[in-house]
Amino acid sequence: MATAPTSPFAPVAFATTENGGESGAAPGAGLSLGEILSKAGKRAIGGGLPGAAAMGVQVISLMWLRTVMNVAYARGGGFFHNLKALYAEGGIRRFYRGLGPALAQGPLSRAGDTAANELVLSLFESNETLHAMPMAVKTAAAAVTAAAWRINLMPIDAAKTTLQVQGRDGLRLLMKKVRVSGFGVLYHGAAGAFSATWVGYYPWFFVFNTLQEKVAVPDADEAYYTVKKHGRNALIGFAASATSDCISNSLRVIKTTKQTSPVALTYPDTVRQIIRQDGVSGLFLRGLSTRLIANAMQGAMFSLMYKAIQDRFFKKE
């Protein structure tokens, strides 16, 4: 009986037909703790490294769009208004300010996300009780792990985002902010980033995991198998991305505005500043259309590239 391939985002049920057809049995039942951790670690690396490679390609191809989005988050304004303003500031190069930090942060973030999901799901396979828990519980556990990982990357994110929003003077302004307010400013927006990652990550992986389980996988013998397989992955990535964006956007607006402000702001001050400039709608809608476009492209690209890389890099046991 054909089953879906194991995925770093897929429910553990995808691999449950290996033990003699007993679909209700936990795949990791009977393993020692050392064996469980070894298996989980191997799957985490298998999930994380292809994710990092796919993300690196996306950073370069979508950096310009991310810059427009972050400027919209921090300053407001429509897509074409910000596009023209940024081009006037420095041409094509202006859209790639912060590329170095982005190339470090993007793959590290995605690798952490996918590795956390893979590690947690592997651990949930370890016994019957954990294996029987709802997918929502498993996804929530992975979301907390990924959100905590993102906190470690805040200094890189601060450099990248400030350069995107402030341009060539970004690092100078950031260092001035550090001198005035201390090293902690590199973690400004950390609470917002944690919340945004949690709120965004949970629906992303929940939708992704659920659709991977529910949407039929084309049989290898079918006509146009490759097109159907990659089309399925791209559509699932798109659906997960759009759901996540709409739910978490306001938190990202707050995080980016606070993080890139020339002076230190509290969260209440940040919210008041946004509402004063663009009203309550600005809090929820700033940059959303750009983010939907960027993340729809990224979600589809990541799903396609991740699957292709994983098929070569990490073989099912």
Percent above pLDDT 70 for the chain:
76
Q: Mind listing the pLDDT tens digit for each residue in 5-58?
A: 333 333 222 233 333 334 455 665 555 666 655 665 565 565 556 666 767 777
Q: Is 53 helix (H, G, I), strand (E, B) or coil?
A: helix
The total of other beta-carbon atoms located within 10 Å of residue 272's CB is: 12
Structural Rg of the chain based on CA atoms: 21
Question: What is the rounded average pLDDT of the residues 116-125?
Answer: 76
Question: What is the rounded average pLDDT of the residues 255-270?
Answer: 94
pLDDT at residue 75 tops 60 = yes
Q: ∠ CA(35), CA(41), CA(46), 5° rounding? A: 125
Give the helix/strand (H/E) hosting 225: helix 225-260
According to the model, what pLDDT value does residue 2 have? 32
pLDDT band at 286 (very low <50, low <70, confident <90, very high): very high
Q: Which two tokens stand for residue 124?
A: 């949930």
Alpha helix positions (H), 95-189? 99-124, 128-131, 135-151, 154-166, 170-181
Question: What is the rounded average pLDDT of the residues 310-317?
Answer: 60
Contact residues for 28 (Cβ-Cβ < 8 A; gap 6+): 36, 39, 122, 125, 126, 127, 131
- Domains, the chain, ranges and CATH? 30-313 (1.50.40.10)
Q: Mean pLDDT in the chain?
A: 80
pLDDT at residue 61 tops 70 = yes
The total of other beta-carbon atoms located within 10 Å of residue 203's CB is: 20
Would the pTM of this model clear 0.75, i.e. be above it? no
